[in-house]
Structure 1
Amino acid sequence: MTTHTLTTAWQNQRSFEETNLQMLQNEVLCDVTFLVGSNKQEIKAHKFLLASRSQMFYSMFCSSPAETHDAIQVPDIEHEVMKTILRYIYTEDCEINTDSVMAILLGAKKYKLSRLEEKCRTFLTNRLTADNVCTILKNVHDLEEKELEQKCLSFIMERGDDALNADGLTALPKTAIRKIITSDNLQAEESTVYGACKRWAVEKCRQETGSADFSSADLRNQLGDLLHLIRFPLMTFETFASSASKDDILTADEKVSIFNCIANKSTSSDCKFSMKKRTGIFKIPAVKEERLIIKRFLNAPSREWMYNGLPDSISFKVSVKAKFLGVSLFSPINAGKIKGILKLQQGTTDILYEKNIEINYSPTKISEEVILDNNVDIVPGQLYTLYTKLTGGYTYYGTGGQTTVSAGNIDVSFAGNDFSLNGTDSTEGQFNYIILKTVSKDR
């Protein structure tokens, strides 16, 4: 009788996805083993379920009956990444973060998991900033993600000055640099373009020589045709005199030619460098969507908030129309994880979004962003409610909560509610920050 209860309780009381995950995590009736990473760590799974969800696994297990495939070598995917991919296969849900997204995307492409690929692409698109866009561009270029690559390039065109000053630019391939600086739509000062190209060439020389001992001739050789794509005549006389003209990357004749162009002593046909203005610099900026972090707490996070299955909840209103992208939840303070459910509701009953979540301990993180698979429209004046019901160990938590937070062109007001039974309210608790995107007026 006891055995029957133990073996049926979770089957009857959980969703299909949860029972799949239970079978995976407890290695029940597994019939295939993955030897993952350089250490060949074992992960057990089920051929039937893998083949039902992946064309690659179907071909592997079904096309050649003579081959049993009881043990599969996976040296190119790390253990935690493979666990995330399998979790998605079993439940169509997994946590993606900035550290793992590229590895997960690579694994999803390998096993032809198109829906997981799209989840990674959406995550990356929603995370583009001037600081990381060049790094993301480099990675998606390597993965031959053409659509994502174009989105990154378009973002750089709009945020040119900021993006070109980011550290990630120096890792870009020359083809990407060329695409950026040849565009008439690049919204960047030409001095910024020159500075970015020079930094890129310096880094390439360092990589090739292994030292910082290289000449201006080496930099010019590294730049090659990129040098003549920089529109030096668009600089002011003062800017060119204080920057590029002081370097020996340009020849003396080229410097004279540029000075004459700036002083209108030469025509475009006489100048060795393009005098065509970049349209992005001179047009009136369009109203764009802006990703905003709405931080609830003024103080540094405290420790030892207990998740014990009771709900945490906070309500909020916005002052202008926006899109809800995600929420940052505090992480465990010790080894382990928290897991449960996250909901976004309109008012207190109408569920707009719901997903199962799991946040693992990381020694370098105090919180982790949970990004929605699809953005949710939110309107001014309407009450919205965030709700979690989680279990696990101790986590960080916030104090010094603000009832009203302003960022960009939006004001967000927070309030406690009767659903929060674990201590979270407008002054302290969970929900480190929410992530919104303001909507442009012309949409």
Structure 2
Amino acid sequence: MDVDVGDVTMDVSGDWQARKTLVECNKYMLKNGVACDITFNVGKTGTQIEAHKYILVCRSSVFHAMFCGPVAEKDSSVDVPDIEVDIFRSLMRYLYCDEVEIEPGTVMQILYAAKKYSVQGLVDHCTRFLQVNINIDNVCCILEQSHLFDELLLYNECLDFIYENAEDVLTSETFSTLCATCTEDIISSDQLFVDEKVVFESMLIWADAVCDNKDIERTDSNRRYVLGDLLYHIRFPLLSLSYYADVVSKCDVLSQGEKLDVYQYLCGSDPSGSVSNFSIKYRAKKSFQTCNRFKYTSENSDWAQKGKKDAVSFTCCHPIWLQGVVLYGSKDTCTPYDVSLKLLGADDIELCYLRSNVTTNQSEQTVNVYFVNPVKIFPKVQYTVEVVMVGPKSYYGENGRRKVPCSNVTFEFISSSRSNNSTNVFTGQVPGLIYSLWL
């Protein structure tokens, strides 16, 4: 008589071990219960699955402690109510044969079983499957499970995916199912590639889901309560004034004092102002635009950078946030520049100062240098960018334009008396301004 054991057919009436591999014999003994010495009562139904302590002990440190440790199991059966029958059979198949079939619908359950019994090889199979199959619909579930199972590498890969696809993920139905810890790791990140109003609206939906789970009414006061400190990861000062006035100010998630603080920041005349408790740092540079003032870049890299000042002044016709500036680099990509960067307002008042080492990319002639915090730029006010660079000779711009229209903003550039390294409107350093719209 022949019996089918997975992909192996054996004659059970004779010498079934003959010419069979160790894996084939293990598979046969598991399926047919040959010489088993332990029984597992699996799942809610208590389905009995027989196995061999020897195999389990040599494959799992948890089973080793269970059967060989100082408090070893004395009974001939073990209850396993938290794992479904099919999942436990998959675990046994891996322990006996190093074989596993993973599908989207079972991967999390198999991962749970593998973690429970410390079967690291099976854990690795599951995490690789998840890494390959992360998508918009399942990433929140995988993030939550990797947090639960303390799978840090998978957790960080999920976060990276969410940062790059933030709007789709935050507006998905599964985002509101995340725990507070996972949610905080998402919305607190500077790498989140999304407009701030999406963060605000998604967190309101998240708060409503928490209210429902706690069986409390969906009110602004309850939303504020369940949000707790998560609220301070929403960067209200980065919202446009019109959206803030039309949407945020009409709900009571923020206190009256917080509303006033944000409103005064958005409308205030102090470009270096700040808002207590709320970050004013932009996320992932999603909304940034660049005003390029030169038509051409020189083919030669011979603009001296020996510590003199390159400066140019500008005005604009629309309120903006100045995020940073573009600087020219060198053909020598291995040598960094020592850069001192200033932004000066009316009457040469210093609004921002930055000191850093800058190295240009091998494939680029320019490098972006960002301020720690954006600076408010008001229309019809003259500002000056002043940079001192020490390092190799750099590229430089030619055929500069006095007026440069960019989207809804027109910039006008003016030569600055502070420049003593020949930069002016028509040639030199500081080829661009990096900005985002304010209103």
- TM norm structure 1: 0.58
Give the distance between the partners of 1:132 and 1:66, measured in 2 at CA.
Answer: 39
Q: Which residue of 14, 28, 36 maps to 2:34?
A: 28
**Counterpart in 2 of 1:281?**
286
**Structure 2: which amino acid aligns with 1:238?**
S
> In the alignment, is residue 87 of structure 1 matched against residue 93 of structure 2?
yes
Give the distance between the partners of 1:129 and 1:217, measured in 2 at CA.
Answer: 34
Give the distance between the partners of 1:56 and 1:27, measured in 2 at CA.
Answer: 22
> In the alignment, is residue 225 of structure 1 matched against residue 260 of structure 2?
no
Give the distance between the partners of 2:258 and 2:167, measured in 1 at CA.
Answer: 25
Aligned CA distance change for structure 1 residues 217 and 7 (closer, same or farther; 3 Å) = same
Secondary structure of residue in 2 paired with 1:228: helix
1:65 deviates by: 10
Aligned CA distance change for structure 1 residues 65 and 259 (closer, same or farther; 3 Å) = closer
Secondary structure of residue in 1 paired with 2:101: coil
Give the distance between the partners of 2:2 and 2:119, measured in 1 at CA.
Answer: 40
Q: Which runs of 5+ in 2 are unaligned?
A: 4-9, 290-439
Q: Which has the larger radius of gyration?
A: 2
Q: 1:7-46 to 2 correspondence within 5 Å?
A: 7=13, 11-12=17-18, 14-46=20-52
Aligned CA distance change for structure 1 residues 13 and 242 (closer, same or farther; 3 Å) = farther
Kept after mapping to 1: 8 A contact 2:61/2:118:
yes
1:8 deviates by: 5.2
Secondary structure of residue in 1 paired with 2:286: helix
Q: Which residue of 132, 135, 138 maps to 2:144?
A: 138
State the Cα deviation string for residues 375-427 of structure 1 (Å, max 9, x = none).
Answer: xxxxxxxxxxxxxxxxxxxxxxxxxxxxxxxxxxxxxxxxxxxxxxxxxxxxx
Give the distance between the partners of 1:65 and 1:241, measured in 2 at CA.
Answer: 66
Aligned CA distance change for structure 1 residues 283 and 17 (closer, same or farther; 3 Å) = farther
**Counterpart in 2 of 1:180?**
186
Kept after mapping to 1: 8 A contact 2:66/2:72:
no
**Structure 2: which amino acid aligns with 1:202?**
D
**Counterpart in 1 of 2:266?**
262
Kept after mapping to 2: 8 A contact 1:191/1:240:
no
Comparing 138-147 and 197-206, the one that deviates more: 138-147
1:206 deviates by: 1.3
State the Cα deviation string for residues 348-376 of structure 1 (Å, max 9, x = none).
Answer: xxxxxxxxxxxxxxxxxxxxxxxxxxxxx
**Counterpart in 2 of 1:57?**
63
Give the distance between the partners of 1:114 and 1:256, measured in 2 at CA.
Answer: 54
**Counterpart in 2 of 1:291?**
none
> In the alignment, is residue 147 of structure 1 matched against residue 138 of structure 2?
no
Q: 1:342-361 to 2 correspondence within 5 Å?
A: none
> In the alignment, is residue 122 of structure 1 matched against residue 128 of structure 2?
yes
Kept after mapping to 1: 8 A contact 2:170/2:199:
yes
Give me the identity figure in percent: 36
Secondary structure of residue in 2 paired with 1:281: coil
1:266 deviates by: 4.7
Secondary structure of residue in 2 paired with 1:188: coil
Aligned CA distance change for structure 1 residues 67 and 165 (closer, same or farther; 3 Å) = closer
Aligned CA distance change for structure 1 residues 263 and 269 (closer, same or farther; 3 Å) = closer
**Counterpart in 1 of 2:220?**
216
Secondary structure of residue in 2 paired with 1:73: strand
Q: Please, what is the CA RMSD of the aligned residues?
A: 2.9
1:12 deviates by: 4.2
Q: Which runs of 5+ in 1 are unaligned?
A: 285-443
Give the distance between the partners of 2:266 and 2:2, measured in 1 at CA.
Answer: 89
Aligned CA distance change for structure 1 residues 243 and 39 (closer, same or farther; 3 Å) = same
Kept after mapping to 2: 8 A contact 1:260/1:266:
no
> In the alignment, is residue 164 of structure 1 matched against residue 134 of structure 2?
no
**Counterpart in 2 of 1:320?**
none
Aligned CA distance change for structure 1 residues 70 and 64 (closer, same or farther; 3 Å) = farther
Aligned CA distance change for structure 1 residues 199 and 92 (closer, same or farther; 3 Å) = same
Kept after mapping to 2: 8 A contact 1:61/1:69:
no
Give the distance between the partners of 1:59 and 1:259, measured in 2 at CA.
Answer: 62
**Counterpart in 1 of 2:254?**
250
> In the alignment, is residue 110 of structure 1 matched against residue 85 of structure 2?
no
1:257 deviates by: 3.6
1:260 deviates by: 4.0
1:64 deviates by: 5.9
Comparing 2-11 and 45-54, the one that deviates more: 2-11
